[in-house]
Amino acid sequence: MGEQDQQALVVPSWRQQDLAALCARTQLMAFDLDTTLARSKTRMSNQMALQFAALTHLRPVAIVSGGRFEQFRDQVLAALPADTNWSQLHLMPTSGTRYYRWDGNDWEQVYAHDLSPEDRMAAMDSLEQRAKELGAWEEHTWGPRLEDRGSQITFSALGQQAPVEAKEAWDPTNERKNALALAVSQDLPHLQVRSGGSTSVDISAKGIDKAYAVGQLARITGVPVAHMMFVGDRMDSDGNDYPAALAGTMALRVSDPDDTLELLGQVESLLKA
C-alpha cells in the first residue's frame, strides 16, 4: 500500500460496515486487549469471557496487545471458562514482539524480539526527557511510569497500577500521547514509537508492530491477512491498532468493551449461520 493510500485509510465503526459480508470472509479473528476486550488493566467481564470463549470454537482467535504476557494471563486467561478451545488461541503480547501458543499443558513462547540494552536505555531516557518537556511527567503516579518489557519499553503517564477512571480521564482525545510519541520518534528514528493504551506510549523494534503480528499469524496459520478480522479501539492513524488495518485486515473500530461485546454477539450468530 502506497503512502497516499495509507494517509487516506479511515477505519469506520463496525456499525457502519457490512458485517455479514465481512463474516463470510473471516477465517481468523484478532483483537486488541485494553479498551477493546476489557477496560485498561482489568479482567474481562464474565459476559465477555463467555462470548470470547464461544468464538474459539468457531474460528482461530488472536489477541495482539501492547501489554505483557502476564496481563494476558490476568485479564483474559484467568477469566475464560474451562471449555475454551485453548488450541485455537494465539497470544501476541507487547504489540506482537512476542508470541505464545498452548502446547497442551502450558503456554509456550514461540518467539521474542528483544531490544538491545542500549536501545532500551535510550528509549527510557527519551521518554522521561520528552514527557517532562511536554508536561506529561505527572508528579503523582500509581506505580512506575516506565516499564522495560524486554521487547518493548512502555511509558504509562499515571503508572502501571493507576485507577481506570483516572487513566481514561487523562487524555480522552489522545493528543497528549500522540505528541509524546512524535517527540520520542524524532529522538529514536531507528525504533518504532506508537501511541498505545489510555495513558501509554510503546517503543519496539522498527517494523515490529501489529502489522508484523498479523503477517506472522498468516505465516503460522496459513490464513491470508485479507481474511483476518481485526477488532480494536485505536484505529486512528496515530493508534497502535492502525498498522493492522494498513496491513490489509478487515479492520473494525470499537469504542469500548461494551461495544465489542455487542459486536461479538452479532459475529457469533453470523459465523454460525
User: In terms of DSSP bridges, do strands 228-232 and 200-205 run parallel, antiparallel, or are they unpaired?
Assistant: unpaired
The C-alpha cell at 253 is: 473500530
The C-alpha cell at 78 is: 484467568
Domain 117-205, classified CATH 1.20.1250.20, yes or no: no
Q: Do 201 and 149 touch, CB atoms closer than 8 A?
A: no
End-to-end Cα distance, the chain:
33
Per-residue pLDDT of the chain (273 residues; tens, 9 = 90+): 444 344 579 999 999 999 999 999 999 999 999 999 999 889 999 999 999 999 999 999 999 998 899 999 999 999 999 999 999 999 999 888 899 999 999 999 999 989 999 999 999 999 999 999 999 999 999 999 999 999 999 999 999 889 989 999 999 999 999 999 999 999 999 999 988 888 999 999 998 889 999 999 999 999 999 999 999 999 998 888 999 999 999 999 999 999 999 999 999 999 998
pLDDT at 207: 86
Whether 3-113+208-272 shares its CATH topology with 117-205 is answered no
CATH number of 3-113+208-272: 3.40.50.1000
Partner residues linked to 194 by β-bridges: 202
Question: What is the DSSP code string of the chain?
Answer: --HHHHHH----BGGGS-HHHHHHH-SEEEE--BTTTBSTTSPPPHHHHHHHHHHTTTS-EEEE-SS-HHHHIIIIITTS-TT--GGGEEEE-GGGTEEEEE-SSSEEEEEE-PPPHHHHHHHHHHHHHHHHHTT-S-SS-SS-SEEE-SS-EEEETT-TT--HHHHHHH-TTSHHHHHHHHHHHHH-TTEEEEE-STTEEEEEETT-SHHHHHHHHHHHH---GGGEEEEES--STTBTTHHHHHTT-EEEE-SSHHHHHHHHHHHHHHHH-
Neighbours of 272 (CB within 10 A): 10
pLDDT at 7: 55
What backbone phi and psi angles, to 5 degrees, belong to 55?
A: -65, -30
Taking only the tens place, the pLDDT of each residue in 167-206 is 999 999 999 999 999 999 999 999 999 888 889 999 999 9
Percent above pLDDT 90 for the chain: 85
Residue extents of the structural domains in the chain: 3-113+208-272, 117-205
Place of cell 524524532: 186
Measured in whole angstroms, how far is the alpha carbon of residue 161 from the centre of its chain? 18
User: In terms of DSSP bridges, do strands 200-205 and 153-156 run parallel, antiparallel, or are they unpaired?
Assistant: antiparallel
SS3 266: helix
Taking only the tens place, the pLDDT of each residue in 57-82 is 999 999 999 889 999 999 999 999 99
Partner residues linked to 121 by β-bridges: none
Alpha carbons 96 and 44: distance in angstroms, whole number = 20
Alpha carbons 203 and 220: distance in angstroms, whole number = 25
pLDDT at 3: 40
pLDDT at 31: 98
pTM: 0.84
Angle between helices 175-187 and 117-133 (to 10 degrees): 130
Q: Do 112 and 98 touch, CB atoms closer than 8 A?
A: yes
SS3 18: coil
Alpha carbons 6 and 232: distance in angstroms, whole number = 18
